[in-house]
């Protein structure tokens, strides 16, 4: 017999729903402890170097927020779709396409002032991201094609497109043949908002989007309909919600947010187009969306945790001589632990085998 | 007939699900050659008990004895090895597989296809249950599917046959044929445990009856020596409720279908062909039929979940066939679908949120923003109007019992003062008390001048509340006949799609 | 001319083989009603595990065995979360892929420049050196033959064995299967583990035979393409074979175009297999009714005996 068994609850536990993410985070840190010990590092010192040291300075806090910003932004957009069972997992590609479009604007208009260039970059980035996401939306509504696979295939195509642009048409002629564009003019760069950090105005854009998304999902009829479509497709049909509309809204929101995140990256810390403009934010944001319970407030908290994993990975490279890919390891573990912990929402776990049949 | 040890004897069988006690110290004995009724209404614990007997569910306490010997039935395989066969209410069949594969899956020995097909033909003809082993289940009617289940059991030469609500999907004629088969099995010495909530059937068929109420045994009797009223009192603890019902005073046609065609909605569905229908203000029209004969498509076409040409469906004289369900609601339509959880209501949402599913156009939303105070007030009214047992407007729909959720959904639809109400299987799986309230509400709505269409597989229900009855068979709808001019036998023949029956 | 054609066929089969193996595994998983989107992650883990073991032992077949075990171990994680604990299968599969990508990069980092003894193509002197027939039939990597045998085996198992019938029944209606006494969860575990083992084997083929080296993310989306192939094949094994070889040919086309001296940026050519996947997926899916008829009815829906 199994060492434990599940007993259905009469109603889902909302306590367990909000307790599961911290539980998963604790389990992840515990795994890290074991992992560092196995690798022959002092686990306490290693955990300190990974999770504490990176944010011990003002600059570190700035970096934390800087990296959390695209994660929160993308996850907010994706969550709108996920709540409705629209599985856009191609945010990484939508981000790249947003960066290409905004980069094109920046390169073409670098003589104009920032009040012209930056808004245009955001519009171009959002539109391009949405357009890229419109492809899977169209294929799903017209051809019934699974959006998980199509949106993911488009990630490969988008990153190859970015690579092509910086290797070919947009390569900096004075860049010693490196695959990169010209540096953008100052008018195409986001202003830093906190002295002594790299934290820029893009974070404010993220906060505005998160607030708007909160209003959308919590208070509007369309937000409610999206939720119904995700929970019970039959009830959505009964309510008269168009399945195509749900797919379009879900995909376009995710695509536009990812596109804007791409703009934030190139107009912020990067300042030009490179073959890669994101260390996997589009995929990490999927985890952020789930860990944040697809809720804007939860997503903000989860994005900070995920950002810390990025900083910790960089620190591990320097301080512990471990590959920075340890970040991905932690990320995947966190999501799996969360999904496992979610069982507590609908079930009680009884330890021990089934009680023996008592004879009266 | 009852000599020696009973074939199966249960003592003190108890099963809990969380806080709910489904079976509380059940005692029951079934003898060889006996047709033993397990009588109880929906939710009394009959299905749980049958699953315990078949090894699908294990009891928390109690003992089972098989021919006098204590046994543990840990799996359906164990049950079959003892000689127990089971025909489930919700068939345990696989639609995409052939009959022979379905039966092979229920056999324990590896049987070769040809040999098994031969024995299927043999058994099915011997008992008057003809079956073609190579047919795919999804092409079969509900009655034929039940035959597959029964033949699957008979191939094992069972000593005990458990039948869970076997007649809920059959026409009166098919019920008679089933009873003949069961009687001949009993005459051969097979013990039969017959689970039902239909009093008349049990009095016609069974030798003994054990009555369950709220998970407990409340009586044992010879049903032939009792009358309906005394059985009902044992089953529900009070007399059967009788609806107040007076003759209809029909007005103008409020819901009409004209030459309505609709392709099947899914691969195993039934297309509609040339459906004509009129429902007038102040009358209830019932649609009888065996499930899978196009009811799903008819409901989708009338409700607007699927659209068609504009003049195929009319509400109050306005062609609405091309409009979706939300637009038809604005023309005065209300709809109570068959599935409560997942269609009529979202299980994971509160009752207040669930009001928005069909009533969002009724002042609950302003400028696209949901008015939460209004939705809660509306849910509170619905709860009060029908005495729904719920913690309040914030209770999640999934915490309500089937009957209470159905009352809430019906209340929500009636709050909209509809010109037309369509209800599918309004009391399916609902206990007798709530069923009576629901039927009374439908009659009251009719008396208030609404046109009411009830689609149901329960003929007793239709004859109780409908003013006219039409029959749907293979996607075609018969003309509606006044209930006073027909009877269940005639309707049953039409349900089976037998030639000439429609003129009856 | 004929030699060129034979060469193209041989390369097509070589490029299609990892897709055949991974897609057949996923096909069995999906036929049991479970959707495991973690194929990419399991393939990467298989690739890195096979590579590391081979580097240390110089025994490539031991590496293959390690890859199979590692892929199945990853699948076990998925099964615990998605089958036992009822988690959303889409999310669990994504998590598995992300974990596999991260974990393989982490453990593989020290081996990026390492070399292994690859699994070599067979060489049966009289047969392999036949003109045309030799290279066409008798000179492949052993794993290519394994992939074809696997397709035949999965076909026989699913459609002509009792165990296969039970597996299909579980995918069709776990509730019915449970009611007549089958252990739905155990059967689904077995299917998921088989899928993981296949993905691991497919990964080992990449890192030990096709391009015998390890690099981060070396599967470059083949796990996802394998998932699309299952839809393309409408859940029928022999069609997986055709689909995978078709994709092998598409992958090859980019090199052929370059070899022919046509000037197209390599990045644009590299888009071909992904674009082809999208087109094929859309083309195959457009008949929604057919997809629903062929796909396992319970695909992606968790089942718990108590509910």
pLDDT digits (tens, 9 = 90+) for C174-199: 999 998 889 999 999 999 999 999 99
Is the Cβ–Cβ distance between C38 and C72 less than 8 Å? no
**B194-211: pLDDT as tens digits:** 998 888 889 999 999 999
CB contact under 8 A, A329 and C103: yes
Residue C294 half-sphere exposure toward CB, CA atoms < 13 A: 16
Residues 6+ apart with CB under 8 A from B230: none
- In this predicted complex, what is the ipTM? 0.90
**What CA–CA distances, in Å, run from B491 to A162, B469, B473, B488?**
70, 8, 11, 5
Chains A–B, number of C-beta pairs less than 8 Å apart? 94
Q: Is the pLDDT of residue B485 over 60?
A: yes
Is the Cβ–Cβ distance between B459 and B175 less than 8 Å? no
Average pLDDT over residues B463-470: 94
Q: Is the pLDDT of residue B268 over 90?
A: no
Pairing of strands B476-477, B420-424: unpaired
3-class SS at B381?
helix
Distance CA B325, CA B307 (A): 9
Strand partners, C238: none
C294 touches chain A (CB under 8 A): no
Average pLDDT over residues B168-184: 86
Strand partners, B66: B8, B69
Tokens 């209300």 sit at which residue? B334
**B16-69: pLDDT as tens digits:** 887 788 999 999 999 999 999 999 888 788 989 999 999 988 999 999 999 999
Neighbours of chain A (3+ CB pairs under 8 A): B, C
pLDDT at B142: 77
Which chain A residues touch B347 with a CB distance below 8 Å?
Answer: 231-232
Nearest CA in chain C to B55: C181
% of chain B residues with pLDDT over 70: 97
Neighbours of chain B (3+ CB pairs under 8 A): A, C
CB contact under 8 A, B396 and A12: yes
Chains A–C, number of C-beta pairs less than 8 Å apart? 152
Q: Is the pLDDT of residue B141 over 90?
A: no
A6 touches chain C (CB under 8 A): yes
Q: How far is A182 from chain C (nearest CA, A)?
A: 20
Closest residue to A11, CB basis, from B62, B325, B398? B398
Question: Which DSSP symbol is given to B368?
Answer: T
Q: How far is B60 from chain A (nearest CA, A)?
A: 6
Q: How far is A10 from chain B (nearest CA, A)?
A: 7
| Domain at A4-351: CATH code | 1.10.3470
Average pLDDT over residues B362-372: 91
Provide the mean pLDDT of chain B: 90
pLDDT band at C224 (very low <50, low <70, confident <90, very high): very high
**B374-399: pLDDT as tens digits:** 999 999 999 999 999 999 999 999 88
> Could you state, in order of their start, the residue ranges of all structural domains in chain A?
4-351
pLDDT at B243: 67
pLDDT tens series, chain A, 360 aa: 456 677 777 777 888 888 899 999 999 999 999 999 998 889 999 999 999 999 999 999 999 999 999 999 999 999 999 999 999 999 999 999 999 999 999 999 877 777 889 999 999 999 999 999 999 999 999 999 999 999 999 999 999 999 999 998 899 888 888 899 989 988 888 988 888 889 999 999 999 999 999 999 999 999 999 999 999 999 999 999 999 999 999 999 999 999 999 999 999 989 999 999 999 999 999 999 999 999 999 999 999 999 999 999 999 888 888 888 889 899 999 999 999 998 888 888 776 544 433 333
Q: Which of A3, A156, A276 to mutate to test the interface with C (most CBs of C within 10 A)?
A: A156
Q: Is the pLDDT of residue C50 over 60?
A: yes
Nearest CA in chain C to B18: C306
Interface residues from chain C to B (CB-CB < 8 Å): 162, 165-166, 168-169, 172-173, 175-182, 289, 292-293, 297, 306
**B82-109: pLDDT as tens digits:** 999 999 887 889 988 999 999 999 876 6
Q: How far is B76 from chain C (nearest CA, A)?
A: 5
pLDDT at B1: 46
Which chain A residues touch B22 with a CB distance below 8 Å?
Answer: none
CB contact under 8 A, A11 and B396: yes
Is the Cβ–Cβ distance between A262 and A278 less than 8 Å? yes
Q: Which domains does chain B have, with CATH numbers?
A: 8-236 (3.40.50.300), 253-332+418-503 (3.40.50.300)
Nearest CA in chain C to A331: C99
Distance CA A146, CA A87 (A): 9
Distance CA C235, CA B387 (A): 50
Residues 6+ apart with CB under 8 A from B450: B254, B281, B282, B418, B419, B420, B421
Helix (H) or strand (E) holding B70: strand B69-71
CB contact under 8 A, C85 and A326: no
Which chain C residues touch A7 with a CB distance below 8 Å?
Answer: 306
B343 touches chain A (CB under 8 A): yes
Dihedral, A292, A293, A295, A298 alpha carbons, nearest 10: -30
> Could you state, in order of their start, the residue ranges of all structural domains in chain C?
2-294
Q: Which of A240, A245, A342, A356 to mutate to test the interface with B (most CBs of B within 10 A)?
A: A240
Q: What is chain B's Cα-based Rg?
A: 24
Distance CA C93, CA C74 (A): 11
Closest residue to A332, CB basis, from C80, C95, C220? C95
Residue C237 φ then ψ, to 5°: -60, -45
Q: How far is B377 from chain A (nearest CA, A)?
A: 17
pLDDT at B19: 76
Which is it for the CA torsion A290, A293, A296, A297, positive or negative? Answer: negative
**C246-289: pLDDT as tens digits:** 999 988 887 778 778 788 888 898 999 999 999 999 998 888 88
Q: Is the pLDDT of residue B12 over 80?
A: yes
pLDDT at A114: 76
Q: Which of C243, C268, C270, C278 to mutate to test the interface with A (most CBs of A within 10 A)?
A: C278
Nearest CA in chain C to A153: C274
* Pure H helices in B448-498: 459-465, 488-495
Which chain B residues touch A224 with a CB distance below 8 Å?
Answer: 353, 356, 370
Q: How far is B148 from chain C (nearest CA, A)?
A: 14
CB contact under 8 A, C94 and A335: yes
pLDDT at C36: 96
Which chain C residues touch B80 with a CB distance below 8 Å?
Answer: 181
Whole-structure pTM value: 0.90
Residue B218 φ then ψ, to 5°: -110, 0
Chains B–C, number of C-beta pairs less than 8 Å apart? 57
Nearest one of C184, C168, C150 to C22, comparing CA atoms: C150
Q: How far is C271 from chain A (nearest CA, A)?
A: 5
pLDDT at B111: 62
Pairing of strands B365-366, B369-370: antiparallel
Q: Is the pLDDT of residue C103 over 60?
A: yes
- Domain C2-294 bears CATH identifier 3.30.2010: no
pLDDT at B113: 80
């Amino acid at each position: 017999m199994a060492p434990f068994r599940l007993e259905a609850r009469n109603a889902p536990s909302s306590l367990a729903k909000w307790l599961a993410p911290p539980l998963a985070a604790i389990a992840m840190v515990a795994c890290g402890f074991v992992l560092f010990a196995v690798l022959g590092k002092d686990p306490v010192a290693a955990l300190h170097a990974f999770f504490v040291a990176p944010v011990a300075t003002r600059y570190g806090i700035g970096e934390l927020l800087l990296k959390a910003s695209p994660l929160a932004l993308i996850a907010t957009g994706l969550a709108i779709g996920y709540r409705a069972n629209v599985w856009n997992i191609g945010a990484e590609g939508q981000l790249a396409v947003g960066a290409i479009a905004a980069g094109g604007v920046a390169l073409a208009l670098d003589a104009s002032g920032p009040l012209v260039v930056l808004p245009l970059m955001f519009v171009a980035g959002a539109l391009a991201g949405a357009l890229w996401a419109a492809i899977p939306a169209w294929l799903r509504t017209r051809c019934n094609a699974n959006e998980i696979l199509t949106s993911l295939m488009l990630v490969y195509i988008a990153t190859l497109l970015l690579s092509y642009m910086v290797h070919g048409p947009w390569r900096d002629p004075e860049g010693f043949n490196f695959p990169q564009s010209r540096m953008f003019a100052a008018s195409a760069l986001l202003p830093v908002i906190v002295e002594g950090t790299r934290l820029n105005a893009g974070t404010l854009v993220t906060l505005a989007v998160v607030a708007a998304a909160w209003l959308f999902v919590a208070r509007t009829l369309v937000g409610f309909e999206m939720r119904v479509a995700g929970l019970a497709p039959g009830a959505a049909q009964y309510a008269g919600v168009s399945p195509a509309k749900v797919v379009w809204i879900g995909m376009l929101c995710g695509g536009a947010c990812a596109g804007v995140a791409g703009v934030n990256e190139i107009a912020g810390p990067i300042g030009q187009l490179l073959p890669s403009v994101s260390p996997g934010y589009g995929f990490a944001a999927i985890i952020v969306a789930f860990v944040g319970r697809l809720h804007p407030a939860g997503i903000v908290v989860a994005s900070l945790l995920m950002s810390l994993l990025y900083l910790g990975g960089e620190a591990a490279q320097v301080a512990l001589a471990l590959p920075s890919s340890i970040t991905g390891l932690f990320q995947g573990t966190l999501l799996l632990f969360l999904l496992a912990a979610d069982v507590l929402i609908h079930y009680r776990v009884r330890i021990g085998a089934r009680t023996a049949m008592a004879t009266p | 007939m009852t000599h020696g040890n009973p074939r199966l004897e249960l003592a003190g069988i108890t099963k809990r699900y969380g806080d709910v006690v489904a079976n509380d110290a059940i005692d029951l004995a079934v003898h060889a050659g006996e047709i033993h009724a397990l009588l109880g209404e929906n939710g009394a614990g009959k299905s749980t008990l049958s699953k315990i007997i078949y090894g699908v569910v294990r009891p928390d306490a109690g003992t089972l004895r098989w021919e006098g010997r204590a046994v543990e039935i840990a799996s359906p395989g164990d049950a079959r090895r003892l000689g127990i066969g089971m025909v489930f209410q919700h068939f345990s069949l696989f639609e995409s597989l052939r009959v022979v594969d379905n039966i092979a899956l229920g056999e324990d020995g590896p049987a070769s296809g040809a040999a098994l097909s031969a024995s299927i033909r043999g058994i099915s003809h011997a008992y008057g249950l003809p079956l073609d082993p190579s047919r795919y289940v999804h092409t079969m009617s509900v009655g034929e599917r039940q035959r597959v289940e029964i033949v699957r059991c008979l191939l094992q030469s069972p000593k005990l046959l458990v039948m869970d609500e076997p007649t809920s999907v059959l026409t009166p004629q098919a019920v008679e044929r089933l009873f003949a088969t069961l009687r001949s099995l009993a005459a051969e010495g097979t013990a039969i445990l017959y689970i039902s909530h239909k009093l008349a059937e049990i009095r016609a068929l069974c030798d003994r009856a054990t009555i369950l109420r709220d998970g407990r045994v409340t009586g044992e009797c010879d049903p032939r020596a009792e009358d309906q009223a005394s059985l009902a009192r044992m089953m529900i603890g009070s007399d059967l409720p009788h609806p107040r019902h007076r003759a209809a005073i029909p007005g103008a046609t409020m819901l009409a279908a004209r030459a309505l065609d609709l392709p099947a909605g899914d691969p195993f569905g039934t297309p509609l062909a040339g459906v004509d229908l009129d429902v007038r203000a102040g009358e209830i029209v019932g649609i009888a039929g065996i499930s899978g004969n196009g009811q799903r498509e008819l409901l989708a076409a009338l409700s607007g979940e699927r659209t068609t040409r504009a003049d195929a469906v009319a509400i109050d004289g306005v062609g609405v066939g091309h409009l979706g369900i939300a637009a038809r609601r604005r023309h005065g339509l209300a709809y109570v679908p068959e599935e409560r959880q997942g269609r009529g209501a979202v299980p994971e949402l509160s009752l207040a949120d669930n009001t928005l599913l069909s009533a969002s156009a009724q002042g609950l939303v302003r400028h696209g923003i949901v008015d939460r105070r209004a939705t809660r007030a509306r849910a509170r009214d619905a709860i009060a109007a029908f005495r729904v047992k719920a913690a309040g407007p914030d209770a999640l729909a999934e915490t309500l019992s089937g009957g209470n959720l159905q009352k809430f959904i019906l209340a929500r639809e009636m709050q909209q003062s509809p010109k037309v109400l369509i209800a599918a299987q309004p009391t399916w799986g609902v206990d007798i008390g709530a069923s009576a309230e629901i039927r009374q509400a439908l009659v009251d709505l009719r008396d208030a001048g609404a046109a009411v269409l009830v689609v149901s597989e329960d003929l007793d229900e239709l004859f109780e509340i409908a003013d006219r009855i039409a029959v749907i068979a293979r996607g075609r709808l018969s003309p509606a006949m006044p209930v006073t001019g027909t009877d269940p036998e005639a309707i049953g023949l039409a349900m089976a799609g037998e030639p000439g029956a429609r003129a009856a | 001319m004929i030699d060129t054609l034979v060469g193209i066929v041989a390369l097509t089969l070589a490029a299609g083989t990892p897709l055949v193996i991974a897609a057949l595994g996923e096909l069995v998983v999906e036929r049991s009603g479970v959707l495991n989107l973690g194929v990419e992650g399991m393939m990467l883990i298989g690739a890195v595990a096979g590579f590391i073991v081979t580097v240390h032992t110089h025994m490539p077949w031991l590496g293959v065995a390690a890859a199979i075990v590692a892929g199945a171990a990853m699948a076990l994680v998925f099964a615990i979360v998605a089958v036992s604990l009822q988690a959303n299968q889409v999310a669990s599969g994504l998590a598995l892929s992300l974990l596999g990508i991260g974990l393989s990069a982490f453990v593989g980092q020290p081996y990026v420049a390492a070399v292994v003894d690859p699994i070599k193509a067979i060489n049966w002197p009289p047969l392999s050196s036949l003109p045309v027939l030799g290279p066409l039939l008798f000179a492949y990597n052993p794993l290519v033959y394994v992939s074809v045998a696997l397709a035949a085996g999965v076909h026989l198992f699913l459609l002509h064995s009792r165990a296969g019938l039970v597996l299909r029944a579980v995918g069709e209606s776990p509730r019915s299967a449970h009611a007549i006494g089958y252990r739905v969860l155990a059967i689904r575990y077995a299917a998921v583990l088989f899928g993981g083992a296949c993905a691991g084997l497919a990964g080992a083929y990449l890192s030990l035979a096709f391009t015998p080296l390890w690099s981060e993310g070396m599967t470059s989306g083949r796990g996802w393409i394998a998932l699309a192939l299952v839809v393309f094949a409408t859940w029928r094994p022999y069609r997986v074979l055709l689909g995978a070889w078709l994709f092998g040919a598409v992958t090859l086309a980019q090199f052929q175009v370059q070899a022919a001296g046509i000037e197209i940026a390599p990045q644009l050519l590299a888009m071909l297999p992904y674009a082809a996947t999208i087109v094929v997926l859309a083309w195959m899916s457009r008949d929604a009714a057919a997809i629903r008829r062929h796909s396992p009815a319970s695909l992606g829906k968790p089942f718990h005996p108590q509910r």
